[in-house]
Structure 1
Amino acid sequence: MSKEALTQVFEPFFTTKEAGKGTGLGLSMVYGFTKQSGGNVTIYSELDEGTTVKLYLPRSSEHNDETVLGGTTSNIPVAQKGERILVVEDNADVRTLAVALLSDLGYEIAEAGSAEAALQVMENSAPIDLLLSDVILPGAMNGPDLAAEIERSGPTVKIVYMTGYAKEALNNHVGLDDHTHVTQKPFNKVGLANKIYSVLDEESGALNYPL
């Protein structure tokens, strides 16, 4: 890539692809994940030759069999009534992880890789209690568009968004506000469990698990 592009590759929403072909979030998410983990990322590129990206992550100094993806297995809130969750994420690996974690917590799961596919799931399956959706999705609809469409159709569904960025970084692009429920990527079992439990439970008056 060009030197000019190289100076911007880690900026959110920067892309050299055609409109509609890329979100501009890939490398900036990598940068955010790496920094969040206490590491670093470097990139080297020669125009028309190729690009090398290197990730440097700190070595773990501890091993604990009670640790699951960054959180302990004790006191994790689980599904109370077999609530049904629709997971919408275009990255198959992230979607598979979310589905596996939530299934292990006792939730019934439906999944989709796009907003359009999610609406078809809504039409052809049992009602859902909560939508867990990536903010940025392929196609004409993003996560908030999907949530708005579901709300217009009538059912009362709780909404939690997944994103690799702070809500403030997305406000100007997708209209998230301070009252929006967001879980940060990369998520772990404990963090995801607490977030889902608290959102589902927020109107019941029961004690919420701390976030």
Structure 2
Amino acid sequence: MSEDAQDVVLIVEDEPVILMLLADYLSGLGYRVLQAENGEQAFEILASKPHLDMMITDYRLPGGITGVMIAEPAVKLRPDLKVIFISGYAAEIRESGSPITLTAPILEKPFDLNTLQEKIQEMLS
């Protein structure tokens, strides 16, 4: 991936170790990574950044916010935004009733980083 054609990925994850691991991994693959530890930070980034290619979000976040609550308005504002949900509670995502969960992939924690990379490449190609 060339420097001038970097895909921008927002990671929303409240567990600092997982956030750091994902950010380091995706940066190493050549993605430009933005990080949010909670819904408030995610909404601030979404409101301020004109370009995002993908959002990878945990489902359960602090303050009763879910990844679906962030993804739904984000996709309405940015119809081309790709979303991947990551969670130890994949069934909760499916049971949320949100239309976005019918199309967005759900990776159940723990997942293999190569699986994440393949899913990202498939969705952004």
Q: TM-score range by the shorter chain?
A: 0.7 to 0.9
State the Cα deviation string for residues 89-144 of structure 1 (Å, max 9, x = none): 00001111110110111100000011221110122234110000001111242101
Counterpart in the other structure of 2:67: 143
| Deviation, structure 1 residue 170 | 3.8
Structure label with greater radius of gyration:
1
Aligned pair 1:175/2:100, yes or no? Answer: no
Partner Cα separation in structure 1 for residue 59 and residue 8 of structure 2: 20
Q: Structure 1 unaligned runs (5+)?
A: 1-78, 202-211
Question: In structure 2, do the counterparts of structure 1 residues 124 and 180 end up closer, same or farther at CA, with 3 Å as the change threshold?
Answer: closer
Say yes or no: does 1:96 pair with 2:28: no
| Residues 55-104 of structure 1: CA deviation (Å, up to 9, x unaligned) | xxxxxxxxxxxxxxxxxxxxxxxx57310000000000111111011011
Contact kept, 8 Å, 1:82 with 1:106, in 2: the verdict is yes
Give how far 1:154 is off: 3.9
Q: 1:124-139 counterparts in 2 under 5 A?
A: 124-139=48-63
Match of 1:115 in 2: 39
Supply the AA of the counterpart residue of 2:33.
I
The alignment yields a C-alpha RMSD, in angstroms, of: 2.0
Displacement after TM superposition at 1:178 (Å):
4.5
Give the alignment's TM-score, normalised by structure 1.
0.52
| SS across alignment from 2:51 | coil
Unaligned runs of 5+ in 2: none
Normalising by structure 2, report the TM-score.
0.83
**Which aligned pairs between 1:26-105 and structure 2 lie closer than 5 A?**
79=1, 81-105=5-29
Q: Is the 8 A contact 1:116 1:141 kept in 2?
A: no
Measure the CA separation in 1 of the matches of 2:61 and 2:107: 16
Letter of the 2:97 counterpart: G
Shift of residue 156, structure 1, vs aligned partner: 2.4
* Higher relative helix content: 2
The whole-number CA distance in structure 1 between the counterparts of 2:104 and 2:84 is 8
Task: Tell me how far 1:175 sits from its aligned partner.
Answer: 2.8
